[in-house]
Amino acid sequence: MAATSFDRLVEEMQRPPFHNWLMPIARGVDDERREVVVALPFRPDLSLSPDQPIFHGGVLAALIDIVGHAAAAVWHGAPSPTIALQIDFLRPAIATELLAKAILRQLGRTVSRVDVEIGDGNKAFVLGRGTFLTRGSET
């Protein structure tokens, strides 16, 4: 039986050892829109502050990379190393769970482009845009 896009997203979230620590959760895939959704519940070791449940910017940046790569890899059907990321922080990420949506804007022969938005399902905390390699594995 062929792997579905959701199977591929689940696998993307599991393979790298770093993900076993971060524990992003595959939440959904929309093949029409070429969009993936990943969740990340808050834990104290993801925090910027000892006093407030606010996600650290470094965690948000890592999540942009992971979810952007997932959107590129799911529809490319192979790993797509990250070439570049642009990350814009709009407001403090205070939430019990992050929702990260990544939409594949372009699947080219050499590079792919992905737009990522991290929020709480209501408002955006961070906007990301990434370029991923689709041709060969070397940059």
- Please tell me whether residue 33 binds its own copies under the rule CB under 8 A: no
| Residue whose CB is less far from its own copies, 4 or 88 | 88
- Please tell me whether residue 18 binds its own copies under the rule CB under 8 A: yes
Which stretches of the chain are DSSP H helices? 5-14, 17-22, 57-76
- Please tell me whether residue 32 binds its own copies under the rule CB under 8 A: no
Work out how close the CB of 136 gets to its own copies at its nearest, in angstroms, rounded to a whole number.
6
Residues between 40 and 99 with contacts to its own copies, criterion CB under 8 A: 44-50, 56-59, 61-66, 69, 81-91
| C-alpha torsion angle, residues 139, 81, 84, 27 (rounded to 10) | 170
Contacts of 74 (CB under 8 A, 6+ apart): 5, 8, 9, 12, 29, 36, 104
Residues between 104 and 133 with contacts to its own copies, criterion CB under 8 A: 105-106, 108-111, 113, 115, 124, 127, 129, 131, 133
The binder of its own copies chosen from 6, 10, 11, 22 (CB under 8 A): 22
Whose CA is closest to 119, among 102, 99, 101, 103?
Answer: 99
Size of the site for its own copies (CB under 8 A): 53
- Please tell me whether residue 20 binds its own copies under the rule CB under 8 A: yes
Contacts of 64 (CB under 8 A, 6+ apart): 85, 87, 100, 116, 118, 126, 128, 130
- Please tell me whether residue 14 binds its own copies under the rule CB under 8 A: no
